[in-house]
């Protein structure tokens, strides 16, 4: 059995994988209504409380036996200086387990977990050949286009090809959602509202080649919300349309500059039906194969970390 642990900004997650069956547990941290997020110290405290409960539940499910290795996310991205205190909750738990059980401990970035979760849930093993692919990380804190390839020993080489110059798509959705009086994170509430839209409209998003900016869109939406009798369903769909169109514009630019066969998309925002359908159609129409993470593996989770731990253990000859 291979264990994965991930303590991101707003989700505690634990996974157990035996090479055939994946058991994944996750829980959102509680954010008071009206607040946009929590302090790092609050997140760490919540993660420590939740992890204990998760391990007890996983044990009761009979999934904590014959543990061969433990994987944990220790940073947001695998680049110098990438650090957030929240990941220390998972790291310290993983270190303790590794020491007591005398099994290897492998560390990965949170982003690598997202990539592997998408590949694992798509059941397409093209990546095992080392083929480069374009990965869109579309989550609460990140909107990045990456050139990626799997590295033997577990993990991914990645090169940033584009993204946002200010806030991420997920941050835009959450800020707008909280302004509308919705709970945080707001993605699923915005999506549900958007399904009742009757007259969506165009919102401004600034796209310059491989980078986009959402700050102007945020300002315009805030102005709209402050007016009276605004239809929140139309506004919600307009917001998703603006995000999707801007991402398609960046895809269009990158497709002219780079050659990829496979496009992989993951992250909480990528679980939205509207976003999946629009991006999937655009990419497929251009003769490329698009792979979305399964919805249960789109948002933050430890499944990818568990798979990476197994891969590295196997490559180490264990």
Residues 98 and 180 in one domain: no
Residues 182 and 209 in one domain: yes
In the structure encoding, which two tokens stand for residue 152, read together? 């033997």
Per-residue pLDDT, averaged over 212-221, amounts to: 96
* pLDDT at residue 79 in the model: 81
**Residue-by-residue DSSP string for 152-196:** TTS-EEEEEEEEESSS-HHHHHHHHHHHTT--SS-HHHHHHHHTT
Residues 106 and 217 in one domain: no
Query: For residue 245, how many C-alpha atoms fall within 13 Å in the half-sphere facing its CB?
Result: 15
Specify if 310 maps to a domain: yes
Q: What is the rounded distance in angstroms from the CA atom of residue 11 to the CA atom of residue 28? A: 4
In the structure encoding, which two tokens stand for residue 157, read together? 């080489």
Instruction: Express as a percent the part of the chain with pLDDT over 90.
Output: 88
Residues 189 and 238 in one domain: yes
Residues 121 and 171 in one domain: no
Residue 27 belongs to what H/E stretch? strand 22-28
Structural domain that includes position 29 = 2-126+296-315
What's the CATH code of the domain at 40? 3.30.420.40
In the structure encoding, which two tokens stand for residue 270, read together? 């990528």
pLDDT digits (tens, 9 = 90+) for 90-143: 999 999 999 999 999 999 999 999 999 999 998 789 998 999 999 999 998 899
pLDDT digits (tens, 9 = 90+) for 61-93: 999 999 999 999 999 988 888 889 999 999 999
> At which residue do the structure tokens 């946009």 appear?
36
Q: What is the rounded distance in angstroms from the CA atom of residue 48 to the CA atom of residue 14? A: 12
pLDDT digits (tens, 9 = 90+) for 34-44: 888 899 999 99
Dihedral sign of CA atoms 103, 106, 107, 110 in order: negative
In the structure encoding, which two tokens stand for residue 63, read together? 């999934």
pLDDT digits (tens, 9 = 90+) for 259-316: 999 999 999 999 999 999 999 999 999 999 999 999 899 999 999 999 999 999 988 8
Query: How many other β-carbons are positioned within 10 Å of the β-carbon of residue 66?
Result: 6
Look at the chain and report how many structural domains it folds into. 2
pTM of the model: 0.93
Residues 232 and 186 in one domain: yes
Nearest to 19 by CA among 299, 316, 314, 318: 314
The residue ranking higher by pLDDT, 227 or 13, is 13
Per-residue b/e over 173-189, b at no fewer than 16 CB within 10 Å? Answer: bbbbbbbbebbbbbbbb
* pLDDT at residue 84 in the model: 93
Number of H helices, E strands in the chain: 10, 12
Q: What is the rounded distance in angstroms from the CA atom of residue 16 to the CA atom of residue 63? A: 6
Residues 173 and 253 in one domain: yes
Specify if 257 maps to a domain: yes
* pLDDT at residue 318 in the model: 65
């Amino acid at each position: 059995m291979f264990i994965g642990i991930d303590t991101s900004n707003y989700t505690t997650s634990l996974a157990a994988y035996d090479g055939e069956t994946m058991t994944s547990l996750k829980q959102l941290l509680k954010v008071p209504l009206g607040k946009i997020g929590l302090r790092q110290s609050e997140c760490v405290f919540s993660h420590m409380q939740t992890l204990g409960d998760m391990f007890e539940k996983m044990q009761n499910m009979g999934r904590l036996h014959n543990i061969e290795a433990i994987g944990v996310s220790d940073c947001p991205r695998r680049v110098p200086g990438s650090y957030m205190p929240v990941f220390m909750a998972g790291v310290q738990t993983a270190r303790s387990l590794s020491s007591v059980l005398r099994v290897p401990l492998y560390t990965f970035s949170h982003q690598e977990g997202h990539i592997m979760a998408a590949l694992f849930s798509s059941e397409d093993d093209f990546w095992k050949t080392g083929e480069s692919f374009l990965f869109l990380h579309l989550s609460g804190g990140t909107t990045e286009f990456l050139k990626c390839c799997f590295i033997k020993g577990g993990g991914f080489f990645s090169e940033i090809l584009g993204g946002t110059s200010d806030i991420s798509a997920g941050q835009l959705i959450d800020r707008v959602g909280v302004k509308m009086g919705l709970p945080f994170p707001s993605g699923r509430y915005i999506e549900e509202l958007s399904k009742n839209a009757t007259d969506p409209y165009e919102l401004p998003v600034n796209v310059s080649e491989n980078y986009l900016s959402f700050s102007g869109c945020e300002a315009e939406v805030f102005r709209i919300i402050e007016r009276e009798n605004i239809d929140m369903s139309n506004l919600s769909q307009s917001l998703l349309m603006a995000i999707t169109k801007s991402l398609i514009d960046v895809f269009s630019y990158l497709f002219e500059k780079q050659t990829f066969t496979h496009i992989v998309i993951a992250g909480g925002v990528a679980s939205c039906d509207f976003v999946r359908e629009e991006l999937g159609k655009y990419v497929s129409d251009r003769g490329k194969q698009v792979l979305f993470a399964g919805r249960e593996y789109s948002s933050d989770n430890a499944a990818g970390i568990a798979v990476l731990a197994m891969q590295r253990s196997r490559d180490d000859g264990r």
